[in-house]
Amino acid sequence: MKLKKMFKNFGLEKIQLGPKWASAEISFQTSDRDAAWELYIEMLTRIVTQPLPIEVGDEKTALDSVYSLFSTSREILRRRGRRTIQFSKVAVPVLNQVVRPFTVKWHKESLAGAFDDETKREKFREELVALQDELRNYNRMLAKIAGVEDLTDLEQAEGE
């Protein structure tokens, strides 16, 4: 499958790839599947894919959890090394183009005291919901790469 088509199939159309990479065929080896599994499980159990109801949780803690995707992904890539180059072609654009814009904006806002302002906290949560939608799509992609049953929507409430 072509890399650009894979992103599109999982609702991640906004990922921009250079012409060489957009049309590149991608296939995953065992090491790529293992790396995808590790990140899939991390994301499945973090706020990046789980609801944050208005009456619970803390915005700064949620932002830190989103930000931790960078260190978690880097650690997986470093530990697994060059054997995960195909997985890297998926993980790096998602981090840089989906996660980074959110964390850059909200880190700066947080330092300026945004989470002390009710309106800004509400805006953060709105944007977090949009990010979570994209990251649930990414998590579905990781399940596919890992070759496992996707549990991303296992705990969705009725009517959602």
Tens of pLDDT along 104-136?
A: 999 999 999 999 999 999 999 999 999 999 999
Rg of the chain over Cα atoms, rounded to whole angstroms, equals 16
Q: Where are the domains of the chain?
A: 3-146
With H, G, I as helix, E, B as strand and everything else as coil, classify residue 148: coil
Q: List pLDDT tens digits, range 77-110.
A: 999 989 999 999 999 999 999 999 999 999 999 9
Q: For the ranges 1-5, 37-41, 100-104, 106-110, which has the lowest average pLDDT? A: 1-5
Distance, in Å, from the CA atom of 46 to the CA atom of 69, rounded to the nearest integer, reads 10
55 vs 98, higher pLDDT: 98
Give me the pLDDT at residue 102, please. Answer: 98
- Per-residue pLDDT averaged across 42-54, rounded? 89
Give me the pLDDT at residue 156, please. Answer: 64
pLDDT for 159 beyond 60 = no
With H, G, I as helix, E, B as strand and everything else as coil, classify residue 90: helix
Handedness of CA 48, 50, 54, 57 (dihedral sign): negative
CA distances from 59 to 42, 65, 68, 93, 143 (A): 19, 10, 14, 25, 27
Give me the pLDDT at residue 52, please. Answer: 84
> For 14-74, what is the HEC assignment?
CCCCCHHHHCCECCCCHHHHHHHHHHHHHHHCCCCCCCCCCCCCCHHHHHHHHHHHHHHHH
- Phi, psi (rounded to 5 degrees) for 25: -75, 140
Cα 6 to chain centroid distance, Å, stands at 15
**CA nearest 135: which of 61, 77, 68, 84?**
68
Q: List pLDDT tens digits, range 13-33.
A: 999 999 888 899 999 999 999
